[in-house]
Structure 1
Amino acid sequence: MPVSSAHTGSAALAGDLANSLQAVLGTLPAQRSYHTRQLARLVTQLLRAARGQSTLAIPQRDSRFDHPAWQSNPLLQRILQMWLGSTVQYQQWLSGLDIAETDRARLIQLGEMLSATLAPSNTPFNPRILERVKATRGASLCQGAQNLAADIVLRQPLAPLCPDDAFLVGRDLAHTPGQVILREPLFELIQYRPTTVQLHASPLLIIPPPLNRFYLLDLTERTSLVKHALDQGLHVFLISWRNPDASHCGSGFNHYVRACDHALKIVSQVTNHAPVSLLGVCAGGLLTLLLQGVLTSRRQGDRVCAASYMVTPIDARLSTGLVRLLGPAARQRLRLKVWQRGFLPAEDMARAFAWQRPEQFVWPQALDRYALGHTPMPREIMSWSQDSTRLPAHLVDDLLDYFERDPFACPGSLVLQGCSIDLRAITTPSWHLGAQHDHIVPCHNSFPGQRLGGDSTFVQSHSGHIQSLINPPDHPGAWFRAGKVAHDDMPEWLNKYSPQSGSWRHHWTAWLKLHSGKIVAAPKVLGSAAFPPLQPAPGRYVHQS
């Protein structure tokens, strides 16, 4: 039996954290006076807060302390200021330590996680908890205890975000009409039914990330990126990845890129051998880059007429919370664990992403369910979020190697299917989306700079990793920047291009239609004689648990 997810995670991190803490202890002899001064400042800050003399600001976009009592109640205000002061002083203390930057970054992330855990909003002092207990005469605490007991019995890794039976995939979610026209061991290929009488001759193949279910891109009729593309006269195909098990442990970059290449061939065959435009999303964008590198090396780059990349880490030098915590020892332990199992479990994936921002994705949900006794509200995005998938061991290994080596910075250092990958040799025009508040792929990591050849356009969305992808044209308050990429300097690019109101979607489809060929009649029948319809969309693989 495999070890539990909690034991896997703690074992994978313990070695690196111990090394970082040991590095801090090593500064005591040489920086004794510095530690003394920092301790004195902490005590001073806490005393100021206790006297009501501290006025530190609550971080922007932090909704945990929206209740007016946090500012009007003297006791709550003091408790909040003591917590804020401790957090600020911890950051200042770390900034002056004579330790390696990797250790500092790891301890910063550890501090952020502990700060989120120890936040006053997670304590009985929270006015929302007190008001709820009073209003329900204690029934909320009883209900919260029942919820906690049920989740422990069901081994829920995190507080549920949405009732499991709230939405049905294919009925409530992912219900854009289409047909599966190809089923392979690793993926299904879906062709969507056109919504216009005429469409562009060059079809669009969407390559979603193998880390999640594809239907984030076809969540609801209003937010569906698939439907938006169809309504703009594009002929849309999409890869639906299989949820792998231990039998797929050997599937890595080679297998997934070969699958993308096979899907590309079939899409071209079904559409009269037209060149195809590609859309890669997140890790699916990474697969798309690798596919283009292979095609260019084989002098087959003309099979692709345009490529779009959304929140794709073309620059692998991530500084996210997960990367900061996973040092060399942790990464090696993670490799050993996933190869023992054959895959990375879905609950581990969900936990890893949630704990990058526990103040948003862990503790508010736990508070709502266990302290307030609420049942989570049915929300489509939350239903998708907890519908996680596994990752094959080889793909985990390849992804870790990619983020360790940043191979696109050294053209030719990555070899795939016998081809040296040099993105600079690609001549296909490309369109890139980054998200301003992305905590998984920070915006600057999506910026192509000079790593990619061909004419490149970059767009910055106003929101985060997920919200940027479900950004419909009628989204209130949405804005984006858009412009050509001429250099590696993203700050200069930001200064050059001003925000525009609205969603980026029409900008994307307008750009894509310029590269999608002439207007032709839309097909009345999906598939072809060689690839007839097998099953209505969203297919079989999306339902596999």
Structure 2
Amino acid sequence: MTSEDGANATKRDETDGGALERMNANLARMDELTKRLVGALSQRQSSDQGLQGPGPELYAKAMAAYWAELANNPGKLIERQVGYWGQALRHAMEAQGALAQGKPAPAPDDLPKDRRFANPLWDEHPYYNFLKQQYQISASAIRDTVSELGGLDAADKRRVEFFSQQIVDLFAPTNFLATNPEAMQRAVETEGESLVKGLENLVRDIEANHGDWLVTLSDPDAFQVGGNIAATEGSVVFRNRMFELIQYAPTTKQVHARPIVLFPPWINKFYVLDLKPQNSLIKWIVDQGYTLFVVSWVNPDASYADVGLEDYVTDGYLTAIDVAREITKQDQVNAIGYCIAGTTLAATLALMARRGDTSVASATFFTTLADFSDPGEMGVFLDDDFVDGIERESKQKGYLDKFFMGRTFSYLRSNDLVYGPAIKSYMLGEAPPAFDLLYWNGDGTNLPGPMVTEYLRKLCLANELATTGFSLLGEDGLTLGDVTVPLAAIACETDHIAQWKGAWHTVDKMGSDDKTFILSESGHIAGIVNPPSKKKYGHYINDEGLEAETPEDWLEKAVYHEGSWWPRWEEWVRPRSGKKVAARKPGGPNHPVIEAAPGQYVKSKDRAA
């Protein structure tokens, strides 16, 4: 052996020894983390079974429908089953034959593309390609069987399809370490360090949710509310038990006399409309010369166990409107309601009309459903079993923990908001990205039990505001027909929470003679947070108003316009905002500035505020 050979051998021994040392260190760290994980899981509090999935009645209905289908049309189901067996077996034989002949090439793959299988190994490696194709064949067979299942009404059919798809998504081979080539490759390349980091991320998430699991979507340390997000200049000018009212500082010398009062949903925090200056709707409205007030709702805890929807109307909507009028010395305001806050704004306007209260000059609705005859994708959760679970859970704790609503909305897009992020975080050991929108998405709020139960039972399930009439603060029979103020509604084309056709029907049933409906491209958030500077999503307008018989007819005659809907809405609200007056500083004699925006309520992060 030459001296060079000896040196190389020594270097290899040192390299191998270093790798072994790192591997042992990683294994030791995993042992520590496993103990922490067990401890974190032991902190999990019991929650109502109604919040974990559909009730047994749905499974019973699905099984009864399946057996009825088998009895009435056995040939059809047997044919489908035999077809599935044949396709799966044929593919297995092709894959086995390729391996037996020493050909590592995968069997032919003509199945639909799926971005979960974007890694080239899913196509190039025969074993992983086999797993992928077998999963896709099985998934397709399940979906086809469920879609052709008869004997169920439309709501039950939609729920069976949704929850069966949840099971299909759960068992994708991408979700398991041993069958995910990218995760296995990363573990080998990093000598197990990726798995250590992944376990650290998992333990962090379990600890953060007190024993429950919900994947962290954004770097929790990348943003500071009031620092690099929610930073538009303004002041808290009023505070009560339900909300803080923020008045934003003017950026123009003159402003329109009539102020705008914006009511965001209290399921999340208001700053989705003020993430950063470039995409802040709040800043943009102020920059157009408007005095803007924004409601920042409290994050309730057990002390709010008695709070119902009427408290949000009395101590929220009506109070905020009165304070804004008093500060600006105006008789009327223009109001905006977003999502659930839009639904409640509609009920409030119906109440005000019944009382002869003309404090609101016009109303704008962002992605608002108040006619729940077709709730869209959210309908899978709008059933008695789910609402019963919410009611029992909130009665026990005094409130509904934000964890449950966060998880519910995440599973509407499970591959994008649950499994995909979990793979990156836990299997690949990646840190969550610094993404402001996802940070906001994880910064939810608790809900008072009586409020959420009343909202779901009366406004969603019974659809009272759109049909028989809703009772509010002593006024019975309130309907959408009582909403008579001039109104504009912005719906979003791919909205999975407030589907746009339902938003169209909501506006169609309102009693106003002055209606404008705008359909934005994109979804529930991106369609609203769509600044003109980005020139990203366009919108549709129909100059005939809502004269069409159906939303489909409306869209067929609508004209597409490039760019954001924001300027078009501003053109609509401008003539309803009065003459120009000198810009106003926040606050007034009876409502002095309490503190700088964004205030205290929005910063509450505890599961129980």
The TM-score range, normalised by the shorter chain, is over 0.9
After superposition, the C-alpha distances for 1:225-244 in whole angstroms (9 at most, x for unaligned) are: 10010011111001111111
1:55 match: 110
Q: How far did 1:26 drift? A: 3.8
2:526 corresponds to 1:467: yes
Q: Provide the rounded CA distance (Å) in 2 between the counterparts of 1:260 and 1:391.
A: 17
1:107 aligned to which of 160, 163, 170 = 160
Question: For the residues of structure 2 that align with 1:273 and 1:24, how far apart are their CA atoms?
Answer: 61
Aligned to 1:480: 539
Q: Which amino acid aligns with 1:55?
A: D
1:478 Cα offset (Å): 1.6
1:491-510 equivalences in 2 (<5 Å): 491-510=552-571
- Which residue identity does 2:561 align to in structure 1? Q
Q: Report the CA distance shift for 1:475/1:98 in structure 2 as closer, same or farther (over 3 A).
A: same
Within-5 A mapping of 1:269-308: 269-300=326-357, 302-308=358-364
SS of structure 1 residue aligned to 2:423: helix
Deviations 1:433-484 (A, max 9, x none): 1112211111212213521122211122221112222212122532111232
| Equivalent in the alignment of 2:206 | 152
Q: Which amino acid aligns with 2:167?
A: L
Question: Does residue 1:93 correspond to 2:145, yes or no?
Answer: yes
CA distance in 2, matches of 1:315, 1:84: 37
- Deviation of 1:2 (Å): 10
Q: Give the match for residue 245 of structure 1.
A: 301
Task: Quote the residue 2:596 is aligned against.
Answer: 536
Name the SS for the 1:458 alignment partner. strand
Query: Which residue matches 2:189?
Result: 135
Assess if the C-alpha contact under 8 Å between 2:187 and 2:194 holds in 1.
yes
The equivalent position to 2:135 in structure 1, one of 71, 83, 97, is: 83
3-state DSSP of counterpart to 1:250: coil
Q: Post-superposition shift, 1:178?
A: 0.8
Aligned twin of 2:75? 33
Counterpart among 39, 56, 64 of residue 23 in structure 1: 64
Do the aligned residues in 1 keep the contact of 2:256 with 2:579 (CA within 8 Å)?
Answer: yes
How much identity, in percent, do the aligned residues show?
Answer: 30
Q: What is the CA distance between 1:30 and its match in structure 2?
A: 3.3
The Cα of 1:68 is off from its aligned counterpart by 3.9
Q: How far apart, in 2, do the equivalents of 1:49 and 1:512 lie?
A: 61
| C-alpha contact (below 8 Å) 2:383/2:461 kept by paired residues | no
Q: Distance in 2 between matches of 1:498 and 1:385?
A: 32
88-97 or 261-270, larger mean C-alpha shift? 88-97
- Indicate the SS of the match to 1:470: coil
Q: Secondary structure at the match of 1:459?
A: strand
User: 1:489 is matched with which residue: 537, 550, 573?
Assistant: 550
Given that 2:370 and 2:465 are in contact with CA atoms closer than 8 Å, whether structure 1 keeps it comes out as yes
Residues 48/473 of structure 1: CA separation in 2 closer, same or farther (3 Å cut): farther
Structure 1 window deviating more from structure 2 (277-286 vs 338-347): it is 338-347
Using a 3 Å threshold, how does the CA distance of structure 1 residues 183 and 23 change in structure 2: closer, same or farther?
Answer: same
2:488 corresponds to: 431
* 1:46 aligned partner, one-letter code: A
TM-score, normalised to structure 1, is 0.93
Quote the residue 2:39 is aligned against.
none
Counterparts of 1:206 and 1:307 in 2: how far apart (Å)?
10
Pair 1:502–1:128, CA change in 2 (3 A): farther
Distance 1:49 1:303, change over 3 A: farther
Post-superposition offset of 1:173: 1.3
Supply the distance in 2 between the matched residues of 1:77 and 1:442 (Cα, whole angstroms): 37
Q: Which residue of 2 aligns with 1:348?
A: 404
Greater displacement, 147-156 / 358-367: 147-156
What secondary structure does 2:230 align onto? coil
- Tell me if structure 2 keeps the 8 A contact 1:144–1:373: yes
Aligned mate of 1:328, from 384, 389, 403: 384
Letter in 1 for 2:534: H
* Of 413, 421, 426, the match for 1:365: 421
- Indicate if the aligned counterparts of 2:491 and 2:520 stay in contact, CA closer than 8 A: yes
Distance 1:41 1:327, change over 3 A: farther
Deviation string 1:79-106 (CA, Å, 9 cap, x unpaired) is 3333333233222212332321233222
Task: State how far apart, in whole Å, the 2-side matches of 1:113 and 1:320 are.
Answer: 17
Deviates more, 1:500-509 or 1:385-394: 500-509
Residue range with higher mean Cα deviation, 40-49 or 246-255: 40-49
CA distance in 1, matches of 2:45, 2:56: 18
Rounded Cα–Cα distance in structure 1 between residues aligned with 2:180 and 2:294: 46
Deviations 1:169-227 (A, max 9, x none): 11111111111111111111111101111111111000011111111111111111100
Q: Secondary structure at the match of 1:57?
A: coil
Query: Does the 8 Å contact 1:16/1:330 carry over to 2?
Result: no
2:101 match? none
Mapped pair 1:42 → 2:72: no
Q: Which of 570, 573, 577 is matched with 1:512 structurally?
A: 573
1:167 alignment partner in structure 2? 223
How far is 1:8 from its partner? 5.3
The whole-number CA distance in structure 1 between the counterparts of 2:565 and 2:182 is 37
Q: Assess if the C-alpha contact under 8 Å between 2:147 and 2:161 holds in 1.
A: no
Distance in 2, matches of 1:95 and 1:160, equals: 33
Say what the alpha-carbon RMSD is for the aligned residues: 2.3
Q: Which runs of 5+ in 1 are unaligned?
A: none
1:13 counterpart letter in structure 2: P
Bigger Cα Rg? 2
Aligned to 1:522: 583
Q: 1:130 deviation in Å?
A: 3.9
Q: After alignment, is 340-349 or 476-485 more displaced?
A: 476-485
Residue number in structure 2 paired with 1:378? 434
Aligned equivalent of 2:257? 201
What amino acid is aligned across from residue 405 of structure 2 in structure 1? M
* Distance change (3 Å), C-alpha of 1:475 and 1:20: farther
The answer as to 2:509 corresponding to 1:451 is: yes
Kindly provide the CA deviation profile for residues 467-510 of structure 1, in whole angstroms up to 9, marking residues without a partner as x.
22221212253211123222441111111113221111111222
Deviation at 1:16, TM superposition (A): 3.3
The equivalent position to 1:442 in structure 2, one of 469, 484, 499, is 499
Distance in 1 separating the partners of 2:550 and 2:374: 17
> Could you tell me how far 1:297 is from its partner in structure 2?
0.8
Q: Bigger CA drift: 287-296 or 92-101? A: 92-101
Q: Taking structure 1 as reference, are residues 115 and 215 closer, same or farther at Cα in structure 2, changes over 3 Å only?
A: same
TM-score by length of 2: 0.83
Question: Do the aligned residues in 1 keep the contact of 2:333 with 2:359 (CA within 8 Å)?
Answer: yes
2:310 alignment counterpart: 254
Question: Which residue identity lines up with residue 539 of structure 1 in the other structure?
Answer: G
In the alignment, the residues of structure 2 paired with residue 306 and residue 443 of structure 1 have an alpha-carbon distance, to the nearest angstrom, of 21
Structure 1 pair 31–172 and aligned structure 2 pair: CA distance change class (3 A)? same
Task: Give, in angstroms, the shift of residue 352 of structure 1.
Answer: 0.9
Higher RCO by CA contacts (8 Å cutoff, separation 6 or greater): 1
Shift of 1:371: 0.4
Separation of aligned partners in 2, 1:43 and 1:224:
54
Q: 1:488 to 1:219 in 2, by over 3 A?
A: farther
Q: Structure 1's 334 and 526: CA in aligned 2 closer, same or farther, altered over 3 A?
A: closer
Query: Whose helix fraction is larger, Structure 1's or Structure 2's?
Result: 2
8 Å CA contact 2:254–2:580 kept in 1: the answer is: yes
